[in-house]
Homo-oligomer: A and B are copies of this chain.
Amino acid sequence: MNTQQDEVCYANSVRKGKMTRERLLWHGLQLVSVEGFRQVSVGALAKASKLSKSGVFAHFGSSEALQLALLDAAAELANKDVFEPAMQAPVGLAQLRTLFERLLGWTTRAGLPGGCPFVAAASEFDDLEGSIHDYLIKSLEHWLGLFQDIIQHAVAQGELDPSVDAKAFTWQLFGLYNMHHTMQHLMHDPDADRIALQGFETLVNTAQIHADA
């Protein structure tokens, strides 16, 4: 999804605009994380990045494009911090556990103090049509598919019962992620990690002992 046109330059293809754009995305993600997408206006981002309003606007072309770019930037962060490290783990159940463990609190590690942009966007844009809505659906489908594939790997390796409903399993894991997010950011509950991880093991145990109906 990242457009990248390397011109004839040697090693020096980094135009200044690209760097500024990344700075803008960084400031924007901080805002998104705390205030939500709809509050990230061109003006607010201009103030946060000490650029002029028109300077910011020129980078994205529209307010919706800005929001989309922010969501895309968040996805890239998640890939770096959640997906890629989990791909290092041995396939199957171990990989599933690693993926889930890294999912918990990835925003904190990524420097987003206010929580997951996708969680925020999911409730902000669920009933609104537009490019953000579409991107959200595709993105969530991608992550759901990722989990389901790994679960089926674990089944193939005999780590989980063959009758496991991969889709249901995946959604229940995402439920735990949501729960963890609310416990952590709204309630500031120190048990959030413990209960989420415990929930994961509960689900795994159930999927090992016998199948769901």
Contacts and interface: CB of A to CB of B under 8 A. Distances in A.
Interface in A176-213: 176-183, 185-187, 191, 195, 198-199, 201-203, 205-206, 212-213
A126 B140 contact: no
Contacts of A141: 187
Interface residues of A, number: 51
B199 A175 contact: yes
A39 interface: yes
A54 to B, nearest CB: 25
A34 B127 contact: yes
A182 B124 CA distance: 11
B186 A182 contact: no
Contacts of A177: 175
B178 A179 contact: yes
Interface string A149-187: 000000000000000010110011011111111110111
By CB atoms of chain B within 10 A, which of A119, A122, A181 has the most? A122
A130 to B, nearest CB: 12
Contacts of A33: 127
A137 B187 contact: yes
B198 A213 contact: yes
A9 to B, nearest CB: 41
Interface string A82-96: 000000000000000
A179 B186 contact: no
A211 to B, nearest CB: 11
Interface of A: 33-36, 38-39, 113-115, 119-120, 122-128, 136-137, 140-141, 165, 167-168, 171-172, 174-183, 185-187, 191, 195, 198-199, 201-203, 205-206, 212-213
Given A178-B182, A198-B213, 16 more contacts: A34-B128, A38-B39, A114-B126, A120-B124, A123-B124, A125-B186, A126-B185, A126-B186, A137-B186, A140-B187, A168-B191, A171-B199, A172-B175, A172-B195, A174-B179, A175-B177
